[in-house]
């Protein structure tokens, strides 16, 4: 939460903190006069700060900044790294240290040079040149302390953590210990709160949509029902967007446990109307509704073991659903699991632009001293939100989007207007 007065405080804090930077000291007053305005704008009742991405040379002073990518890989990670490093080097004379394999790199001081040459040609590349992991320092003995020692050892002024809620939750813990951290929202699942879109989501949706288009042709040719299982652990954004874009007949998401008999009935009604094939899109985290309480259900998992952030490995809902739909409708039903195909490949134009905007926003936030915050997209504005806002809960698919999917699919008898 950054009320109006804090910008001035940032400058003063930086003034004390960066005594060796005489430019900042001498220009502190000019900086205050020219500083970008801080707005207190209600959006979902939470305040945010607009980011002025204009470069003021007067504000520029060199910093040493660490960068890491954590959690599942995602198209656009390299585009963020590139934007951070380019603007940092070209406009602020910054130096960068790349930490390898997410928080593991910070725990173990595994680094790589992140200079102008090392980011050359990475914009269209999927994955991340920094590699990634699901390492959680908070789960290791003295892990956070070791992270802080590494940052000190590398003489860093700030750290940019690019990741989802898990990565940013560690960033918040370090911020609480006094580390200057800025977060960047990443997940193909698009379920991070505080931002309207995460980069990587658009690419994943396009990959899934293309797969649904391909599956459609086989479904039609063989008069089958095809079930397409897409990613989406807690939220069904990929299922909803790709399902609507790909013309799926039924879309199932984690937010609403589904009754398999209702799914079968929608397919029966559609076929009774003369259609001879159907496509169902199901998110990996979608749940079969419990008989006792239909608003509840448990996701299908492939492994019960949990990772360091407490996540089980999901998968298999598509297979069970296909079997049940075939049994109940008598229609031949097959399934495909898109899995990591959705996370791979070159980022879409939208994701390249969004990732670049996030990268620029993040390095500018570092230079404005907006720590403990995450760069975010609200409407079409790049803004800064507290990390706590991003990590406290998942952003779920909204009712309006669910209504679009329902409006496009066969209504059950009790749903007819």
Active site residues: 189
CA distance 34 to 53: 13
Whichever of 299 and 372 has its CB closer to ligand F6P, that residue is: 299
- What DSSP line would sit under 271-312, residue for residue? HHTT---EEEEEETT-EEEPSS-TT-EEE-EEE----TTSPP
Binding segment toward ligand F6P, per CB under 6 A, in 7-15, 21-29, 229-237, 358-366: 229-237
Confirm or reject binding of residue 271 to ligand F6P (CB under 6 A).
no
- The single residue among 104, 224, 233, 368 that binds ligand F6P, judged by CB under 6 A, is 233
Shortest distance (Å) from residue 171 CB to ligand F6P: 17
**What is the 8-class DSSP label of residue 394?**
B
Could you give the string, one character per residue 305-324, with x where binding to ligand F6P holds by CB under 6 A and - elsewhere? --------xx----------
- The single residue among 47, 232, 246, 299 that binds ligand F6P, judged by CB under 6 A, is 232
Binding segment toward ligand F6P, per CB under 6 A, in 135-143, 228-236, 322-330, 350-358: 228-236
- The single residue among 189, 370, 389, 410 that binds ligand F6P, judged by CB under 6 A, is 189
Which residue, 64, 89, 65, 67, is CA-closest to 161?
67
Whichever of 72 and 372 has its CB closer to ligand F6P, that residue is: 72
Shortest distance (Å) from residue 164 CB to ligand F6P: 6
Confirm or reject binding of residue 231 to ligand F6P (CB under 6 A).
yes
Which residue, 353, 359, 373, is CA-closest to 89?
359
Shortest distance (Å) from residue 308 CB to ligand F6P: 11
Total residues at interface with ligand F6P (CB under 6 A): 13
Distances (CA, A) of 253 to 16, 223, 303, 306: 50, 25, 20, 22
Which residue, 280, 288, 301, is CA-closest to 229?
280
Could you give the string, one character per residue 26-65, with x where binding to ligand F6P holds by CB under 6 A and - elsewhere? ----------------------------------------
Which residue, 172, 194, 73, is CA-closest to 125?
73
- The single residue among 47, 66, 70, 72 that binds ligand F6P, judged by CB under 6 A, is 72
Q: Is residue 39 helix, strand or coil?
A: coil
Whichever of 123 and 188 has its CB closer to ligand F6P, that residue is: 188
Shortest distance (Å) from residue 317 CB to ligand F6P: 12
Whichever of 2 and 314 has its CB closer to ligand F6P, that residue is: 314
CA distance 285 to 233: 5
Binding segment toward ligand F6P, per CB under 6 A, in 13-21, 177-185, 225-233, 255-263: 225-233
Shortest distance (Å) from residue 64 CB to ligand F6P: 29
Q: Are strands 49-50 and 301-303 parallel, antiparallel or unpaired?
A: unpaired
Which residue, 174, 129, 156, is CA-closest to 65?
156
- What DSSP line would sit under 63-88, residue for residue? -EEEEEE-SS--TTHHHHHHHHHHHH
CA distance 355 to 351: 6
Whichever of 13 and 306 has its CB closer to ligand F6P, that residue is: 306
Shortest distance (Å) from residue 5 CB to ligand F6P: 38
Shortest distance (Å) from residue 284 CB to ligand F6P: 6
Q: What are phi and psi of 288, to 5 degrees?
A: -70, 130
Shortest distance (Å) from residue 72 CB to ligand F6P: 3
Per the structure block, which two tokens stand in for 201? 């989501």
Q: Map the footprint of ligand F6P across residues 337-376, applying CB under 6 A.
A: 343
> Cβ(126)–Cβ(33) under 8 Å?
no
Whichever of 173 and 233 has its CB closer to ligand F6P, that residue is: 233
Sign of the four-CA dihedral 355, 361, 366, 369? negative
Half-sphere exposure of 262 (CA within 13 A, CB side): 18
Sign of the four-CA dihedral 319, 323, 326, 329? negative
Whichever of 108 and 308 has its CB closer to ligand F6P, that residue is: 308
Q: Map the footprint of ligand F6P across residues 159-188, applying CB under 6 A.
A: 187-188
Which residues bind to ligand F6P, rule: CB under 6 A?
71-72, 134, 187-189, 231-233, 284, 313-314, 343
């Amino acid at each position: 939460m950054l009320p109006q007065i804090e910008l001035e405080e940032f400058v003063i804090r930086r003034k004390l903190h960066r005594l060796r930077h005489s430019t900042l000291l001498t220009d502190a007053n000019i900086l205050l006069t020219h500083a970008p305005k801080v707005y207190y704008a209600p959006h979902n009742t939470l305040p945010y700060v607009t980011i002025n991405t204009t470069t003021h040379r007067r504000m520029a002073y060199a910093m040493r900044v660490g960068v890491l990518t954590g959690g599942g890989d995602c198209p656009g990670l390299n585009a963020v790294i590139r934007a951070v490093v380019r603007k940092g080097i070209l406009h602020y004379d910054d130096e960068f240290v790349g930490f390898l394999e997410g928080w593991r790199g910070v725990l173990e001081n595994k680094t790589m040079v992140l200079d102008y040459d090392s980011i050359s040609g990475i914009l269209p590349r999927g994955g991340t040149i920094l590699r990634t992991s699901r390492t959680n320092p908070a789960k290791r003995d003295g892990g956070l302390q070791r992270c802080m020692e590494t940052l000190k050892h590398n003489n860093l002024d700030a750290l940019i953590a690019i990741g989802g809620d898990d990565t940013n939750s560690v960033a918040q813990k370090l911020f609480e210990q006094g580390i200057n951290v800025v977060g960047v929202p990443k997940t193909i699942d698009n379920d991070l709160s505080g931002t309207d879109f995460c980069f990587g989501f658009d690419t994943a949706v396009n990959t899934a949509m293309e797969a649904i288009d391909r599956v459609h042709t086989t479904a039609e040719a063989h008069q089958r029902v095809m079930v397409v299982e897409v990613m989406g652990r807690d939220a069904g954004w990929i299922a909803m967007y790709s399902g609507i874009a790909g013309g799926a007949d039924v879309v199932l998401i984690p937010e609403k446990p589904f009754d398999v008999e209702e799914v079968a009935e929608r397919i029966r009604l559609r076929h009774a109307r003369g259609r001879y094939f159907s496509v169902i899109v199901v998110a990996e985290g979608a749940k079969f509704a419990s008989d006792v309480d239909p608003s509840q259900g448990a996701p299908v998992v492939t492994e019960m073991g949990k990772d360091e952030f407490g996540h089980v490995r999901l998968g298999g809902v598509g297979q069970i659903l296909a079997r049940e739909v075939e049994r109940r409708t008598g229609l031949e039903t097959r399934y495909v699991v898109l899995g990591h195909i959705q996370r791979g490949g070159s980022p879409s134009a939208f994701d390249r632009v969004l990732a670049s905007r996030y990268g620029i926003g993040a390095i500018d936030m570092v230079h404005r001293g907006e720590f403990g915050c995450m760069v975010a997209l609200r409407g079409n504005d790049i803004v800064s939100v507290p990390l706590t806002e991003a990590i406290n809960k998942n952003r779920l698919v909204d009712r309006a989007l669910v209504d679009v999917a329902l409006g496009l699919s066969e209504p059950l008898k009790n749903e007819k207007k």
